[in-house]
Amino acid sequence: MKMRVAVRTLLASLAFAAACSNSDNGPLAVGTLERDRLELVAEAHEPIVEILVREGDSVTAGQPLLRLDDVQLRSQVAQATAARDRTRARLDELVRGPRPERIAEARAQLAGAEGAMVTQRREIARSRTLAYAGSESASRLDRAQAQYDEALARRDAARATLDALLHGTTAEELAQARAALGEAEAALAVIRVSVERLVVQAPRPGRVDALPYKLGERPPAGAVVVVVLADGAPYARVFVPESARLRVTPGVAATVRVDGTTRAFVGRVRTVSSEATFTPYFALTERDRSRLAYPAEVELTEGEARDLPTGIPVTVTFEAVRASAADTEATAARGTATTGNRQEDRGG
């Protein structure tokens, strides 16, 4: 009888110890502290003429960090400005309409053309009369007819020119001029934006992490010239074991333990990748070796976490996983105790 009681007590103790061990720890997610990394690039293939910060400096949003040479783009701005002014002057000219002097000139040209036409009309009448009397050749009559036709055409052209000046600019011409002005202004705006982007500015508060190029160097367009780590509390980038992925979802509470301090920080899962990857070498634990893992980000919600450095190793446990593991192992402990009772009853 005493032997049976001892066996039952031993089985219950082992089950309780296993349950306590799993509920305290649960599946661990291992990773490092990270901050949003902002890589600022060179907008043009121009030399660096000024570096306004040093690595480690704190910066504010909009603060200038580095400046590229803008001589070439400044000349393009001047060229685009001249083109804009030219199209604007043309539009103003079309809106104002023809000058009075041009209208007077057109009237004079029409009067001269009409006078020449009258003269040629009389000349052809005389040539026709002489030709009928046999005193003029047919070829002379033809030349007179051609000169009259030419005078008539010049009169019509002068009249059309005068009518165009009197009616002013057409709506279609005004629309084309306004479109040309809009195009010139847009081209100028694009170049001005390019000039402004030669001054690399901090998009948000943070700390300068790296300056890959030195003063005087000429980085290619699109090359990273400044790296800024965003201000604020870091987040833990960890790898969630496949066995815990079902219960680790955005919003789940977590406990973050940082190497070098005994304090545990409160966190919350921000994102979990939908694609699994192999557990990286620095996240290998005895329990998680040879398993798939899901990259996740756990934000630290306490204000004291703002001063934590980037890159420090962390271990994260998830409340939902811990509670689930505790329930599972408690159920296993009850099952073990029931099995012990049944064995005792059969032994009795």
Quick one: 214 and 246 in the same domain? no
Tell me how far apart the alpha carbons of residues 15 and 160 are, in angstroms, rounded to a whole number: 109
Looking at residue 13, its pLDDT comes to 38
CATH number, domain with residue 315: 2.40.30.170
pTM reported for the whole predicted model: 0.60
Task: Tell me: do 61 and 81 sit in the same domain.
Answer: no
pLDDT on residue 324: 53
How distant, in Å, are the alpha carbons of 42, 65, 242, 307 from that of 293? 36, 39, 5, 29
- Give the model's pLDDT for residue 121: 83
What was the pLDDT predicted at 148? 83
Residues 184, 82, single domain; the answer is yes
Does one domain contain both 238 and 315?
yes
The CATH number of the domain holding residue 65 is 2.40.50.100
Q: Are residues 226 and 131 in the same domain?
A: no
The residue among 230, 252, 286 that closes a domain is 230
Domain of 290? 2-35+232-347
Give the pLDDT confidence score for residue 334 in this predicted structure: 53
Residue type, 24: D
- 64 and 202 belong to one structural domain: yes
Split into its structural domains, the chain has a count of: 3
Compute the distance between CA of residue 268 and CA of residue 249 in angstroms, rounded to an integer.
Answer: 10
* Regions of the chain where pLDDT drops below 70: 1-27, 136, 168, 278-291, 320-348
Residues 241 and 332 in one domain: yes
Shared-domain flag, residues 119 and 188? yes
